[in-house]
Amino acid sequence: MAYVALYRQWRPQDFDNLIGQEPISTTLKNAIVTGKIGHAYLFAGPRGTGKTSTAKILAKALNCADGPTDKPCNRCVNCERINAGTSMDVFEIDAASNRGIDEIRDLREAVRFAPVDARYKVYIIDEVHMLTTEAFNALLKTLEEPPAHVVFVLATTEPHKIPATIHSRCQRYDFRRIAVAEIERRLTDVAEKSGLTVESEALHMIAVHADGGLRDALSILDQCTAMNEGMIAADSVRSLLGLVGHEWVWKLMDAAADKDAASVMLLLDELIALGKDVRQILLELALHGRSLMLYKAVPDFDGVAYSEDQDVLASQSAKFTYDEIIGLIQTFQAAANEVKWAAEPRITLEIALLDICRREGTESIAGLLKRIKALEEAAKAMPPVNMVRVARSEAETPQPKVHTPEPEFDKPKVSAPLNSGTSEEVWDAVLKDLVASGKRSVHACLAQGHIAALNDSQVTVQFTSVFAKERSEKEDYRNIIEKILARILGQQVKLNCILAAASSGMVEKSAPAKADPKEGGVHPALDAAIKIFGGRAIKEEKNEEE
């Protein structure tokens, strides 16, 4: 007799033996007992979690000689035929191989015929997401209104690929990943009933590596039995699965914690020589980092099941800060993703480990964000810098007295004036602001003046040109200048414009009431405009008749 794989030998035969899917088995049993049997079911979930097994149990429950029943007998003709895969009324269709519209058309023709021996015809379509769009469209009407004697069970690992029109016509059941403890209990039971001797640590390794799939766990156990006729030890499982092992991971992490790059490289070289996979090394380092993170966060919490020696976790977690542990987990995970596409994966692993060894001054993203937030809060708490106060404090310092002639008119009423250096900085800032904002004409006027005095309420600007002074005093220019001063000084101030004494004297001496065109005289206002805007004055030519 041909050997039957363990996962086939120990496939669950009723709802009570369905491991890890109690909510689904309870719902289906109640539906059968109450007679609320759906015409189409969608079973979605990861591989090896019991979707096809549940579909077969449902087929037996509907067609059992004692049924419909929530506890198929597995002894009647219909149950035995379904278990053996020879029933004429239960069809397992692989959608990956029968994905076209022609196959679905044949199925539509076949569903119209009554069952041969059983009560219901059950169509189990595995990996249904592989059907083409045309095949799905052909299935829609039949799936919505099948004959009373037909039940569809659609199974898939990728439910997001199934059209919404199919979803809406089915009762959906989501199968969850089976917990490590449940897989381990099932493996122990199978090993005892099969006469296998397996170390508990080996069973735990298999359960963890199965990643929530009981079928995968049984396949690994089956492979281990072929490798060892006697006891199945943890070392044998580790060798079979290509696992690095706790001891190697601990050594690597100890060396990285001590920033001993030389030891890290030697250990890594030994692992590569033993044939260990680079990505597997990174994944196990990341898992160990997770254990360190959990121990660092909740060392005494009973709800966390640590898969490693707690003494090792206590020793190593003390060598890292919490932010450093988060950082190394992120480093290992990023490297594990990168090695899938790297031309030389070992280099990626070496970079990751050396980065951890050279972690001096490094912080996680979360730590940097905390520091930035603290700096922002400190900056908000600081009082705003008042340039006027700074200028006044500078003015209060002893300065050498320089005699400056006071203008004979428009004398400003100001407090202690700024020193020349400070007032020049403020004035330069005003002129630059005007240029940056595109106010060239205002800049042309103010460029002919400078700050003579400044206090908390007023800025006095002295001009060398009458036109520039008068134009700057106009309301439109004044508003622009006062807004810029307020922005620079941090408070509202008034603009006071004065004319330099020398310039005023020159104007009084040279400004006639009316320019004499015969002698080539130019009006002072025109002369000021030429200085500001450029150009030259052209004498108007008159006709002789005039």
Look at residue 531 in the predicted model and tell me its pLDDT: 60
Residue 166 included in any domain: yes
Domain boundary among 205, 222, 241: 241
Domain boundary among 151, 174, 197: 174
Same domain, 56 and 156: yes
As a whole number of angstroms, the distance between CA 350 and CA 346 comes to 6
Same domain, 157 and 42: yes
Residue 538 included in any domain: no
Q: What is the pLDDT of residues 196-221, one digit of tens each?
A: 888 888 888 888 888 889 998 999 88
Same domain, 112 and 212: no
Same domain, 325 and 340: yes
Structurally, how many domains does the chain consist of?
A: 4
Same domain, 20 and 164: yes
Residue 322 has, within 13 A of its CA and on its CB side, a CA count of 8
Residue 482, domain CATH? 3.30.300.180
Look at residue 528 in the predicted model and tell me its pLDDT: 63
Look at residue 521 in the predicted model and tell me its pLDDT: 54
Residue 213 included in any domain: yes
Same domain, 140 and 210: no
As a whole number of angstroms, the distance between CA 311 and CA 503 comes to 90
Same domain, 356 and 223: no
* Strand, coil or helix: 43: strand
Domain boundary among 366, 400, 425: 366
- pTM of the entire structure? 0.58
Same domain, 209 and 287: no
Residue 266 included in any domain: yes
Same domain, 345 and 362: yes
Single-letter code of the amino acid located at 129 = H
Residues with Cβ < 8 Å from 198, sequence gap 6 or more?
Answer: 187, 188, 191, 221, 224, 231, 232
Long-range contacts formed by 417-420: CB under 8 A, 24+ apart: 417/452, 417/453, 417/454, 418/391, 418/392, 418/394, 418/451, 418/453, 418/454, 419/391, 419/394, 419/395
Short-list 163, 273, 200, 215, CA closest to 54: 215
As a whole number of angstroms, the distance between CA 503 and CA 465 comes to 7
Residues with Cβ < 8 Å from 225, sequence gap 6 or more?
Answer: 6, 196, 232
Short-list 499, 500, 521, 519, CA closest to 510: 521
Residue 84 included in any domain: yes
Same domain, 190 and 168: no
Report residues of the chain scoring pLDDT below 70.
Answer: 1, 228-230, 301-309, 360-368, 382-421, 501-546
Residue 134, domain CATH? 3.40.50.300
Domain that holds residue 212: 180-241
Look at residue 164 in the predicted model and tell me its pLDDT: 92
As a whole number of angstroms, the distance between CA 85 and CA 63 comes to 14
Look at residue 301 in the predicted model and tell me its pLDDT: 62
Residue 319 included in any domain: yes
Residue 305, domain CATH? 1.20.272.10
Compute the C-alpha angle 222/223/224, nearest 5°.
90
Residue 193 included in any domain: yes
Backbone dihedral angles phi then psi of residue 86, each to the nearest 5 degrees = -115, 10
Backbone dihedral angles phi then psi of residue 449, each to the nearest 5 degrees = -135, 180
As a whole number of angstroms, the distance between CA 312 and CA 246 comes to 10
Q: 120-135: buried (b, 16+ CB within 10 Å) or exposed (e) per residue? A: bbbbbbbbbbbbeeeb
Same domain, 336 and 309: yes
Q: Classify strands 121-126 and 150-156 as parallel, antiparallel or unpaired.
A: parallel
Same domain, 63 and 207: no
As a whole number of angstroms, the distance between CA 247 and CA 249 comes to 5
Residue 443 included in any domain: yes
Long-range contacts formed by 358-364: CB under 8 A, 24+ apart: 358/259, 358/261, 359/259, 359/324, 359/327, 360/259, 362/324, 362/327, 363/323, 363/327, 364/323, 364/324, 364/326, 364/327, 364/330
Short-list 324, 323, 205, 193, CA closest to 256: 324
